[in-house]
Amino acid sequence: MARIVVKFGGSSVADARKIYLAARKLIALHKEGNEVIGVLSAQGNTTDALLAKAKQIDPDCHGRELDMLLSTGEICSVSLCALAIRRLKEKAVSLCGWQAGLFTDGTYGSARALCLQNDRIERELKKDNIVLVAGFQGVDENENVTTLGRGGSDTTAVALAAFLKADRCMICTDVDGVYDKDPRKFVDAVKYDRISYNEMLTLCRGGAQVLHDRCVELAKRYQVPIEVCSSFQEIPGTIVH
Ligand code: ASP
Ligand code: MG
Mean pLDDT score, 47-76: 98
Mean pLDDT score, 23-46: 98
Using DSSP, state whether 36 is helix, strand or coil.
strand
Q: Indicate if ligand 1 lies below 6 Å from the C-beta of 50.
A: no
Nearest CA owner, ligand 1 atom 8:
151
pLDDT score for 4: 98
Nearest CA owner, ligand 1 atom 9:
150
182 band by pLDDT with thresholds 50, 70 and 90: confident
Model pTM?
A: 0.97
8, 74, 174, 211, best to mutate for ligand 1 pocket (most atoms within 8 Å of CB): 74
Nearest CA owner, ligand 1 atom 1:
42
- Spatial distance between the Cα atoms of 159 and 230, rounded to a whole number of angstroms: 21
Rounded to the nearest 5 percent, the helix, strand and coil shares of the chain are 40, 20, 40
pLDDT tens-place string over residues 92-140: 999 999 999 999 999 999 999 999 999 999 999 999 999 999 999 999 9
Q: Indicate if ligand 1 lies below 6 Å from the C-beta of 238.
A: no
Question: What is the DSSP secondary structure assignment for residue 194, as one 8-state letter?
Answer: E
184 band by pLDDT with thresholds 50, 70 and 90: confident
pLDDT score for 209: 85
Residues in the chain: 241
